[in-house]
Amino acid sequence: MQDKVVLITGASGGLGHATAPVFAHAGYRVALTGRNTEALEELAATLEGESDRTLVHAADLLDREQTGALVQSVIDAWGRIDGLLNLAGGWAGGVGLADVTQAQWDEMLHMNLITAIHITQAVLPQMLAAGDGRIVHIASMAVEDFRARQVAYNVSKSGLVALARSTAVEYGAQGIRSNVLLPGTIDTPRNRRTRPSQDRSNWVSPEALAEIMLMLCGPVGEEINGAAIPVSGGL
């Protein structure tokens, strides 16, 4: 995988901190993006290999111009993007459908779906020109096991599944493989801080998610397209 390039969004989060080392160790060139340059640089400094195998480019994926500039910077540096790992996203809830405000709808749709649309559209032209590309999104088990009082989150993550599968249907014949993982609660430092009283025995290991993404980006992943893969942590 020495010449392969993977772009990781939301890289400075807990899942990004597990995923970037797995791909760097496997020989990928790793491009890291998020909104916090300092956090991205701190992550990049921990990765194995030469510094010219890691690229940091902060961007707000809600902004199409910034998203396009991000993708162009990776292509300018390495000439290609073989894989997109879209880890960007978040959770908000606590109110029933009748009481969800426009701001709350916007927060979830923007964070979990619109950013994904922008980055997918930005990487597709180069992947299609190459006749090959792997896209992996991170949705949630919530799309199969809806929970009350988080409707905006449920809808936004369901839309992400539709985006992944639509990409697979439209571009599978042209070499693109698009899949989505459906994890339960991921065992990240942030989730441990915000949910200190929860039983973590069935939380999902971020390292396991990273290994599944590595598989989807490798030779075996050629045979998998349009899949929504539950990663339940044993539930």
Query: Is 171 a known active-site residue?
Result: no
Tokens, residue 170: 């439209």
Non-local CB neighbours of 82 within 8 Å, separated by 6+ positions: 4, 5, 6, 28, 127, 130, 132, 133, 134, 217
Q: How far is CA 35 from the centre of its chain?
A: 14
Three-state DSSP class for 86? strand
Tokens, residue 222: 């050629």
Non-local CB neighbours of 119 within 8 Å, separated by 6+ positions: 7, 9, 61, 67, 70, 71, 84, 86, 88
Question: Phi then psi for 44, rounded to 5 degrees?
Answer: -60, -35
How many residues are given for the chain? 235
Catalytic residue among 153, 183, 204, 225: 153
Q: How far is CA 227 from the centre of its chain?
A: 15
In terms of Cα–Cα distance, which of 192, 170, 211, 224 is closest to 85? 211
> Residue ranges of the alpha helices (H) in 137-229?
151-171, 189-194, 206-217
Give the catalytic positions in this structure.
153
